[in-house]
Amino acid sequence: MYLGHFGLHEHPFDLTPDTDYYYGNPSHQEAMNMMMVALRDDTGFIKVTGEVGTGKTLLCRKLVNELGTGFHVAYLPNPPLTPQELYLDVIRDLGLKEPVSTSLHEMLKLITDKLLRSAVEGNRVVIVLDEAQDIPDETMEALRLLTNLETEKTILLHVVLFGQPELDRRLAQESLRQLRQRIVFSDKLTPLDLDAVHGYLQHRATVGGYGGNGDFPLFSAQAVRLLYKRSGGIPRLINILAHKALMLAYGKGSERVKWSHVRGAILDTEGVSGRFAFGWPVFSLGILSLLSVVIIALLRSGGGG
C-alpha cells in the first residue's frame, strides 16, 4: 500500500522472522557471540531466554544460518514433541535414512552412529530448539540422554535451547535437575533501549529499500521516542506500531512518520493504547484514521479506471 510512496521495495516491519532484517543490537549480538564461542568450545547445553516478542526466533534462525561449514544442524521450531518424534525429527534434519522401526533404541543407535562419524570427520552436530519452554518433561529427558553420547575427549552433541522465561521455571524442577546442571552457558535477551530503537528502525527501513540519509530519516526523532516509550523496546511491538504509523503517514501524504502518526498507531493497537484512550471517542480516532488510509488507497488504485 505505502511502498512506492516511501521508496520501499518490501514491507520492512513484517512480523515474519526474516534474517535479512537481523539487527545486531548489543543484547542480541552478545547472545550470538556467546553461542558461537560456546559451540566451538565443546559446550553441551546452551540456553537463551527472552520475553515474547524480543526476537528469539529471528536470532535462532540467524544462528542456524551462521554456523555454516563444520556443523550439522537439526533445527526444531515446534518442540511439543514426544521422544519418538524428537528423535525422528533429528534423524531427518541430519539427513539420515528413516528407520523402519520407531523404537527409541533403534533411533538412538542411528543418531549415535552419526555423531561418531561426524566426530571422526571433524564436524560438530547441533540441535537447535525454539520455544523450548513447551518441551514435555519426558522429551526433555530424551534430549538429555542424547547428550550422554561423548568420547573421553570431546562432546558429540551440542544443544541450544531458545525459550520464554517459563523455560527457567521448567528447568528449576527437581525432575529436570540433571539437564539443568548440563547448561554451561546462558543468556537473556533484553528489550531495545532508545538508541537501539532508532538504529533498528533505520536498519529495517534501509533493508526494505528506503533511500533517505541520516539527515532525513523515515521516522522523526519524536516518533522514535514515542515508539520506544510505548513498545517498551520490544521488537515485535515496534514492528506492529511502525507498520501502522507508515500507513497513517501515507494516508496523510507525509514523507516521513511523525509523532501524530505513531500516536494514531498506538490508539489502534491493543495492549499499548491505554495511556491515550480516554474513552471510546478518542480510542476510535486510531481506527478511523487507519480506515481512512485504506479508503484513500482504494480510491487511488481505482482512479485510472
Long-range Cβ pairs for the range 60-64 (8 Å, 24+): 60/128, 60/130, 60/160, 60/162, 61/17, 61/19, 62/19, 62/22, 62/32, 63/32, 63/35, 63/36, 63/128, 63/160, 64/128
Q: What is the pLDDT of residues 71-86, one digit of tens each?
A: 999 999 988 899 999 9
State the Cα–Cα distance between residues 274 and 271, nearest whole angstrom: 7
Give the DSSP letter of residue 49: E
DSSP 8-state class, residue 150: B
Where exactly are the structural domains of the chain?
A: 3-15+193-301, 26-188
Nearest to 197 by CA among 1, 7, 13: 13
Q: What is the mean pLDDT of the chain?
A: 87
**Homologous superfamily assigned to 26-188:** P-loop containing nucleotide triphosphate hydrolases (3.40.50.300)
Q: Which residues are CB-neighbours of 105 under 8 A, at least 6 positions away? A: none
Task: Please state, in angstroms and rounded to a whole number, the distance separating the CA atoms of residues 75 and 86.
Answer: 11
Residue 144: which pLDDT band, with cuts at 50, 70 and 90?
confident
From first CA to last CA, the distance across the chain in angstroms is 18
Give me the count of residues in the chain: 305
Indicate the residue type of 169.
R
Confidence of residue 215 (pLDDT cuts 50, 70, 90): low
pTM of the entire structure?
A: 0.85
Q: How confident is the model at residue 139 (pLDDT cuts 50, 70, 90)?
A: very high
Instruction: List, edge to edge, every strand of the sheet that includes 45-49.
Output: 71-76, 124-129, 157-163, 45-49, 183-188
- Better-predicted residue by pLDDT, 147 or 200: 200
pLDDT above 90 as % of the chain: 67
Q: What one-letter code names the amino acid at 161? A: L
